């Protein structure tokens, strides 16, 4: 009698992939547009382009995406404040600022999603402390977005998982490297 292969649920796989702390898993993440479409997306057989999904107005989805939009807005404000206070970090923080702006735009594509306007955060006195705090904030947001993605399905779940993966990757790049001990 042959054994059944072990089947992993999509939610378990999504949660594991988003929360996995290794940057190696996330190094290939790219949330920029691609000319070939998104792997795994449904294609329109006539044009070969990904089929467009209609945005959901499900209250659960809108609430989850609005919460995510508020968190992404806060991260964007942190990046802007740190860039103003520490101009030398502008290059290092540019990618994070760009990604969060793109993520916020994607979140707002769903009807009813609103990002709560937040106050400008207090920036630590040193640039190293600011980077460490920003890395912690990115990790916390990634964890929250991955947990929210696990509770949803379809396009909203993929969007939140993509944002979580990008935040995990950003947190890894912002974390100071430990010096090798001799």
For residue 90, being part of any structural domain is answered with yes
pLDDT at 38: 44
Packed helices 127-150 and 10-19: angle between N→C axes, nearest 10 degrees: 180
For residue 2, being part of any structural domain is answered with no
For residue 49, being part of any structural domain is answered with no
pLDDT at 116: 78
Burial state string for 68-92 with b = 16 or more CB within 10 A and e = fewer than 16: bbbbbbbbbbbbebbbeebeebeeb
Distance CA 133, CA 81 (A): 13
Q: Which two tokens stand for residue 155?
A: 């396009």
* 90: pLDDT strictly greater than 80: yes
Q: What is the CATH classification number for the domain harbouring 76?
A: 1.20.1260.10
For residue 1, being part of any structural domain is answered with no
pTM comes to 0.65
To the nearest 10°, the Cα dihedral for 16, 20, 23, 25? -30
- Structural domain count of the chain: 1
Q: Please, is 51 exposed, middle or buried when counting C-beta atoms within 10 Å of its C-beta (0-12, 13-18, 19+)?
A: exposed
**Residue of 57 and 30 predicted with greater confidence:** 57
* 124: pLDDT strictly greater than 60: yes
Q: Which domain holds residue 76?
A: 55-112+123-176
For residue 32, being part of any structural domain is answered with no
Q: Which two tokens stand for residue 3?
A: 């054994």
For residue 15, being part of any structural domain is answered with no
Q: Which two tokens stand for residue 67?
A: 């919460």
CA angle 164, 165, 170 (to 5 degrees): 95
For residue 36, being part of any structural domain is answered with no
Question: Phi/psi of residue 106, each to 5°?
Answer: -65, -40
Coil, helix or strand at residue 50: strand
pLDDT at 58: 81
- The mean pLDDT of 39-49, rounded to a whole number, is 45
For residue 157, being part of any structural domain is answered with yes
DSSP conformation class of 179: P
Question: Phi/psi of residue 50, each to 5°?
Answer: -60, 140
* 26: pLDDT strictly greater than 50: no
Q: pLDDT over 90 for what percent of the chain?
A: 42
């Amino acid at each position: 009698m042959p054994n059944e292969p072990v089947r992993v649920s999509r939610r378990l796989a999504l949660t594991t992939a988003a929360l996995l702390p290794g940057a190696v898993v996330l190094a290939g993440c790219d949330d920029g547009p691609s000319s070939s479409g998104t792997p795994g997306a449904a294609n329109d057989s006539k044009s070969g382009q990904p089929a467009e999904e209609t945005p959901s107005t499900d209250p659960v989805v809108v609430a989850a995406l609005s919460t995510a939009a508020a968190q992404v807005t806060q991260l964007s404000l942190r990046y802007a404040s740190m860039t103003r206070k520490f101009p030398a970090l502008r290059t290092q923080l540019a990618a994070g600022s760009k990604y969060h702006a793109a993520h916020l735009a994607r979140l707002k594509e769903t009807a009813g999603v609103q990002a709560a306007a937040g106050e400008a955060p207090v920036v630590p006195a040193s640039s190293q402390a600011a980077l460490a705090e920003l890395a912690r904030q990115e990790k916390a947001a990634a964890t929250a977005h991955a947990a929210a993605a696990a509770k949803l399905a379809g396009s909203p779940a993929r969007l939140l998982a993509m944002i979580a993966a990008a935040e995990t990757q950003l947190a890894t790049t912002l974390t100071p490297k430990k010096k090798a001990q001799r």
